[in-house]
Amino acid sequence: MLAKTSTLQLSWALILTILFSANAAATAADSPQTILEQTADQMFQSLKNNRDSYKDNPSLVYELVDTVLVPHIDFVRSAKWVLGRRYWTQATPEQRGQFIHEFRTLMIRFYSAALVEYLRDHEITDNMIVFLPYTGKPGEDDVTVRSEVRRGGGPAVPVHYQLRLTPEGWKVYDLMVDGVSMIATYRTSFADTIREQGIDGLIKTLADRNAELLAGAPTTEAH
């Protein structure tokens, strides 16, 4: 389980970097797989050339992610699915807005910190992410891009990105690592918190965790 958690952290950290390394927003004419493949190449070149700067100055990673990542992630869709239909319907518009804000902040701070930690302890190697043949059909607006993360001599870990075509282009809203959905994982955890503390309690829990991450707390758990 710890290995899977570590891979989840790394995979999301890498996809964050893939997204903020892109120079332009995706459009409907762009293949989601082509976008990820091209920007992955840019990402690894950037990480190799600037590894020392990134690992020694976490603020550089946070700034890049905060300013460039947000347009490429469908945080509203992710937050809605994470909260689940029942609790999303029960939440007031104010609670929904607060939850989206805290959830987005959690994703940015937690996985940016995970990327910094990874860069401090590991070298970036070629072909860490290998994209598998694309199986999407023309005209689809909700697709899966499949890949494998390969590290050291261990087995490859399947990592699938779920993307949705929006008026602003393709946006990632979920990630599956070895068959485990990020959305489903958070939904289970958050539902437990809501049952015990209510929606406001969940929002406060996320806000407290975000404050800890801002202060430099470990990234072992995001919730």
Report residue 208's pLDDT band, with 50, 70 and 90 as the boundaries: very high
Q: Which pLDDT does position 223 carry in this prediction?
A: 55
User: What's the pLDDT tens digit per position in 49-100?
Assistant: 777 877 777 777 777 666 656 667 899 999 999 999 999 999 999 999 999 9
Q: Which residues pair with 23 in a beta bridge?
A: none
Tokens of 89: 């319907």
Domain 2-214 has CATH 3.10.450.710: yes
1 vs 193, more confident: 193
**For the chain, domain boundaries:** 2-214
What are 26-38's pLDDT values in tens digits?
A: 444 567 887 777 7
Residue 87 contacts residue 203 (beta carbons within 8 Å): no
* Those residues with Cβ within 8 angstroms of residue 144's Cβ, 6 or more apart along the chain or in another chain: 135, 136, 160, 161, 162, 163
Q: How many CA atoms lie within 13 A of 148 on its CB side?
A: 12
**Residue 62 is inside which H or E element, if any?**
helix 58-64
Distance (Å, rounded) from C-alpha 109 to C-alpha 89?
Answer: 27
